[in-house]
Chains A and B, each alone.
Chain A
Amino acid sequence: MELTETDRQLIGALRDGLPLAERPYEALGNSLGLDEADVIDRMCGFVKRGMISRIGVVVDHAALGFDSNAMVVWNIPDEEVERVGAMFAGLSWVSLCYQRPRRLPDWPYNLFTMIHARDRTFVEDRVAVMATLPDVMVQPPAILHTTRRFKQTAACYGTPREG
């Protein structure tokens, strides 16, 4: 379904997030010449069409002390990856779990998990637990600790507002 010009303007006005006001949707509408109900209807439409996955917050893990983040990557036989992926995703300390292609010969890993933790020992202990789960260990996983974070910005959509 195509977005209208008004939809694009609304998405552009949301670039920096929702206004912090008692009636945020009314405040958004005021800047665009739309009434509150129209803004809410359009945003409900975006949610129904799956363009907005949710309205909520992004938490800075590091600001909360979860500054020992690691990407832990596994080499799982292709016929087992779906089962192991679903199992890993169910663990409370796993925040993301994706299957990605191997890049042989340098990169034999096809299952990527993100673990957010307050210290490296926690990460290593949890990885040791995961490695004992049935049929996981073809070879030891690689733990790629985050050593620096250079950039973390949101993708931009919609029509930027003038000025």
Chain B
Amino acid sequence: MDDIDRRLIDRLQDGFPLDDRPFRTVAEELGLDEDDAIVRVRRLRETGVLTRFGPLYHAERMGGALLLAALKVPPEEFERIATLVNELPEVAHNYARGHAFNMWFVLATETPEGIYAAIAEIERRTGLTVHPMPKLAEYFVGLRFAV
């Protein structure tokens, strides 16, 4: 990663144009060649610095649903439970965190009803209680992540 990569990522966090030559538009703003911009985005995707390049969807307006939920997993069972939870395609993210509530995951489903089914399935598989942590209010933060 060099300085140009950082500027490019910074710029792309502001959005990508919907025009016929969007890489050229972005490249011109940064004083780059169109080809160079494409090559750099490809490399950043392939090396995993960018995990997505393209549209980012609003789950609820797509008719789907998202839910953060937590489990209290006995430490000696952690590996086994993690495997069971991660196997579900509805589990989009899963993190181990330092707390009695030690497993935190995000469910993403194509319908709101799918969330309840996924919770029931996790409880059935693990024998543990899922603690849903639905969003009550969102406070707006800038989308930019300084690189």
Contacts and interface: CB of A to CB of B under 8 A. Distances in A.
Interface of A: 14, 16-18, 20-26, 36, 40, 43-44, 46-47, 49-61, 63-64, 71, 81-82, 85-86, 88-90, 92, 94-101, 103, 106-107, 112, 116, 142-155, 157
A151 B20 contact: no
A59 B20 contact: no
A147 B97 contact: yes
A153 to B, nearest CB: 5
B72 to A, nearest CB: 8
Contacts of A153: 92-93
Given A64-B49, A154-B92, A71 B57 contact: no
Interface string B83-107: 0011000011111111111001100
B47 A63 contact: yes
Contacts, number: 199
Interface residues of B, number: 71
B51 A146 contact: no
A97 B98 contact: no
Contact of A149 (B9, B18, B66, B95): B95
B137 A155 contact: no
Contact of B18 (A43, A59, A96, A145): A43
A95 B97 contact: no
Contacts of A145: 97-98
A142 B99 CA distance: 8
Nearest to A61: B145
B80 interface: no
B55 A52 contact: yes
Given A100-B68, A148-B95, A60 B49 contact: yes
B124 interface: no
A143 B86 CA distance: 24
A152 B38 contact: no
A153 B91 CA distance: 8
Contacts of A92: 146
A150 B55 contact: no
17 contacts: A22-B38, A25-B22, A53-B57, A54-B56, A56-B16, A60-B51, A63-B48, A85-B139, A99-B138, A101-B134, A107-B101, A144-B97, A144-B104, A146-B95, A150-B94, A151-B93, A153-B92
